[in-house]
Structure 1
Amino acid sequence: DIVPTFNYDLSTPYFEITVPTLDTVRFSAILEQHILSEYPMLMTGVSGTGKSAIIAQLMREMDRDGHIVPIPVNFSAQTSSMRTQEMIEAKLDKKRKKLLGPPAGRKAVVFVDDLNMPELDRYGSQPPVELIRHLIDYDALYDRKDLFLK
Structure 2
Amino acid sequence: MVKIGATSISNLAVGNKNIDLLNIGNNVVYAGYSYPCVGEYNFNPITLQQYIDLPYVGDPKNYTSNLYFSKYIESFEYRIVLAGADSGFRVCPLNELVLPGVYGGVINNGNYAALIGMCAPRYIINEMNTPTMLTEFKIDGKLYSYNYIRK
Q: Which has the higher helix share?
A: 1
- Normalized per residue, the structure richer in strand is 2
TM-score (norm 2): 0.27
